[in-house]
Each structure stands twice: as structure tokens, then as C-alpha cells.
């Protein structure tokens, strides 16, 4: 158990930045039976120093003597010479003009074919030979009757026919279509619009003016700088961790705690119920009191009890 307590205290020292050079520093020095100690944080120490600071730098004041003027008359330009541009409108005339309405063109026209009717004598039946019954002086050559057949020439026969023959084939011809024109009357510009410059003379006016008689002047006066002695708090010692005797539940009785609670309440710190118990409200009031009076923080130290003017 003692070893674990040493380890816990060593860890606390490392976290708070306090040194732990030897193992003896892990326990309060010169402790008597019945006394309780804790490591408390002693806040940094400050001292008040005086310093002479500049509150108002040296200045120079310029005193100006105003200029002197007198009234007089003067012819002044009120409007500068200028010019304006006037437009001379264009003039027009009426002219007659022959214009093309439809250009000349060509058109292809179909010329149909022509025919004529002619007559022609043609063979109806060509000349040929054929058998024809013949007759002769002897009709009976014997007891049998026979026919006489003669091979005769049959001349050709002809007939006259009419037919329609092409005289001239179908063709096309190009027909020239002349251009079409129209005479119109229109208004054209005879002379273009122009501009001309009209000069406008300057304008003057006689006015009453204030003329400088004597120019302004100035002189300079100096004011020395001002200093003030200021006091301020400067840190002269860093905060540190140290062992301090405290009252805790082990060595404190309700008879000891009640006067401390009453003293806190008189000082304006709310300890909660005056019940002689070091509860959370009482410890918060103790911490606020220590912070206000720049006391070591970490428990109900004897220094805090002394500051509260309580005898335990």
C-alpha cells in the first residue's frame, strides 16, 4: 500500500511539473503524529514596481495670422468661347428610271412529228403453180374412168393499200422571251446632308472681388512632453508545488469545521449548511477564497485558516 501511495504521489509531481529529486520529497518533512498534509500549488509571486511613462509627447503649436483682403472690381470670364454644329439637311430630286422587271429568258417548245398517207400496190397472192382438172378428147382409155389433172401456172394477184408514214420526226425548238421593263419615278438625294460650325463668343462679367493685400503668416510655439509615474505588478517568482498542513476528515472535527464555515460566510463565500462537514460546497468556497487572496490551492491549508482568522 505504501509503495502504491509513493507511485501516485510521483505521478502527481510529474503532472504538476514539480521536481522529485529524492524519494524523501514524496512525504511531508518533519511531520508530527495526528497532522495531515497535502501538496498544494503556491501561486506565482508579484511585486509592484513604479515606471515613468510618456503620457503626452512634445508638440508644436502653429499660430496663424490670417491674410488681409480688400474689395475691387474685375472683369471675369463667365462662359468660355465655344461653337455648335448645325445640320444642313440634304436636298432631293425626282428622277425617272427604266428598271428591269423580268429578265430575258428562253423557253423550249415541243414540235410534234408530221405524217402523210400514201397508197401502194402490193402482192395480195404471189404467183404459184397448182393442179387443175383438165378435159381432153379421150375421156376413157379403158373400161376404167380416170380424171385428167393438169399442172398450171397461177399468176400473182395485187391489191392497193393506204398507210401513214412519218414525214418529219418530233423535235423541240427554243423560243426567246424578251426582257420586261418598267418605268418608275423615285426621289433621290441631290445634295448630301452636311454640318456647319457656328462660333459662340465668350461671355464676360464685371464682378466685385476680394483681393489679397497681405498674405497669411504663422509662428510656432513648442510644448514639452508630459510624463506620469505608473505602478504595475510584475511576476518575481513562478508558481510551485509544496507540502502544506491541512485539515481533512481524518484530523478535523465538526467543532473545527463550523468556525471555518462561518468565517467563509462572513467573508462573502457560501459554504452551504453550517454543519461541520467538509462537503463539496464548503470546498468550493475555500477554493474561491484562496484564489481571491492568492493563497496556495489544494486543500484547507493552515495558511487559509489563518487568513480566515480562525483558531483550531
Over residues 187-199, the pLDDT tens digits come to 889 888 899 899 9
Among 160, 176, 192, give the residue marking a domain's end. 176
pLDDT tens, position by position, for the chain (312 residues)? 334 444 444 444 434 444 333 334 666 766 665 556 676 766 777 778 788 888 788 888 888 888 888 888 888 888 889 988 888 898 998 989 888 888 988 888 888 888 888 888 888 888 888 777 766 554 444 555 556 777 778 898 888 888 888 888 888 888 889 988 889 998 889 888 899 899 999 999 888 888 888 898 888 888 888 888 888 777 766 766 767 666 665 667 888 889 999 999 999 999 999 998 888 899 999 999 999 998 888 788 888 998 999 887
Given this model, what pLDDT does residue 247 score? 63
- Total structural domains within the chain: 2
Closest CA to 44 of 17, 8, 10: 17
Cα separation, 36 vs 244, in Å, equals 8
CB-based contacts of 106: which residues, under 8 Å, 6+ apart?
174, 175, 176, 177
Neighbouring residues of 300: CB distance < 8 A, sequence distance ≥ 6: 246, 247, 248, 252, 260, 278, 283, 286
With H, G, I as helix, E, B as strand and everything else as coil, classify residue 43.
Answer: coil
Instruction: Note whether residue 270 is domain-resident.
Output: yes
The CB-side HSE value for 265 (13 A sphere, CA atoms) comes to 13
Q: How far apart are CA 284 and CA 267, in angstroms?
A: 14
**Residue 128 included in any domain:** yes
Among 176, 199, 225, residue at a domain's last position: 176
Per-residue model confidence (pLDDT) at position 301: 87
What is the DSSP code (8-state) at residue 33? T
100-143 residue pLDDT tens:
888 988 888 888 888 888 888 888 888 888 777 766 554 444 55
End-to-end CA distance of the chain: 31
- The reply to whether 198 falls in a domain is no
**Quick check: is 25 in a domain?**
no
Residues 204 and 136 sit within 8 Å (Cβ to Cβ): no
- The pLDDT value recorded for residue 142 is 52
* CB neighbour list of residue 140: distance below 8 Å, 6 or more residues apart: none
Q: Does residue 156 lie within any of the structural domains? A: yes
**Burial of 283 from C-beta contacts in 10 A (0-12 / 13-18 / 19+):** middle
Asked if residue 245 belongs to a domain, the reply is yes
Tell me, what's the pLDDT at 136? 58
Residue 15 · residue 187 · CB < 8 Å: no
| pLDDT given at position 269 | 94
For residue 207, give every residue at least 6 positions away whose Cβ sits within 8 Å of its Cβ, in sequence order, or none: 73, 74, 75, 76
Distance CA 162, CA 98 (A): 61
Q: What is the pLDDT of residue 263?
A: 93
Looking up residue 248, the CATH number of its domain turns out to be 1.10.101
Asked if residue 61 is part of any domain, the answer here is: no
Q: Which of 90, 122, 115, 299 is nearest to 195 (CA)?
A: 90
Say if 120 falls within a structural domain: yes
Distance CA 10, CA 2 (A): 12
C-alpha cell at 292: 481571491
Domain of 250, in residue numbers: 31-49+235-307
H helix or E strand, kind and range, residue 149: strand 148-154
Amino acid at each position: 500500500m505504501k509503495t502504491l501511495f509513493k507511485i501516485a504521489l510521483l505521478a502527481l509531481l510529474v503532472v504538476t511539473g514539480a521536481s522529485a529529486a529524492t524519494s524523501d520529497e514524496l512525504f511531508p518533512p518533519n511531520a508530527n503524529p495526528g497532522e495531515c498534509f497535502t501538496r498544494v500549488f503556491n501561486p506565482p509571486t508579484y511585486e509592484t514596481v513604479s515606471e515613468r511613462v510618456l503620457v503626452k509627447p512634445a508638440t508644436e503649436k502653429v499660430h496663424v495670422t490670417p491674410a488681409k483682403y480688400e474689395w475691387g472690381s474685375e472683369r471675369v470670364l463667365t462662359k468660355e468661347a465655344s461653337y455648335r454644329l448645325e445640320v444642313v439637311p440634304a436636298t432631293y430630286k425626282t428622277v425617272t428610271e427604266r428598271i428591269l422587271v423580268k429578265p430575258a429568258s428562253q423557253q423550249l417548245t415541243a414540235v410534234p412529228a408530221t405524217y402523210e398517207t400514201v397508197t401502194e400496190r402490193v402482192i395480195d397472192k404471189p404467183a404459184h403453180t397448182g393442179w387443175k382438172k383438165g378435159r381432153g378428147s379421150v375421156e376413157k382409155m379403158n373400161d376404167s374412168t380416170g380424171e385428167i389433172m393438169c399442172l398450171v401456172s397461177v399468176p400473182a394477184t395485187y391489191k392497193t393499200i393506204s398507210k401513214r408514214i412519218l414525214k418529219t420526226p418530233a423535235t423541240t425548238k427554243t423560243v426567246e422571251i424578251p426582257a420586261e421593263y418598267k418605268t418608275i419615278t423615285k426621289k433621290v438625294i441631290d445634295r448630301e446632308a452636311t454640318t456647319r460650325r457656328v462660333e459662340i463668343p465668350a461671355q464676360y462679367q464685371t464682378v466685385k472681388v476680394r483681393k489679397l493685400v497681405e498674405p497669411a503668416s504663422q509662428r510656432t510655439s513648442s510644448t514639452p512632453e508630459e510624463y506620469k509615474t505608473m505602478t504595475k505588478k510584475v511576476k518575481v517568482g513562478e508558481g510551485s508545488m509544496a507540502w502544506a498542513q491541512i485539515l481533512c476528515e481524518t484530523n478535523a472535527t465538526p467543532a473545527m469545521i463550523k468556525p471555518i464555515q462561518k468565517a467563509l460566510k462572513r467573508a462573502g463565500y457560501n459554504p452551504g449548511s453550517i454543519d461541520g462537514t467538509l462537503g463539496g460546497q464548503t470546498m468550493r468556497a475555500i477554493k474561491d477564497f484562496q484564489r481571491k487572496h492568492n493563497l496556495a490551492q489544494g486543500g484547507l491549508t493552515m495558511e487559509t485558516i489563518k487568513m480566515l482568522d480562525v483558531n483550531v
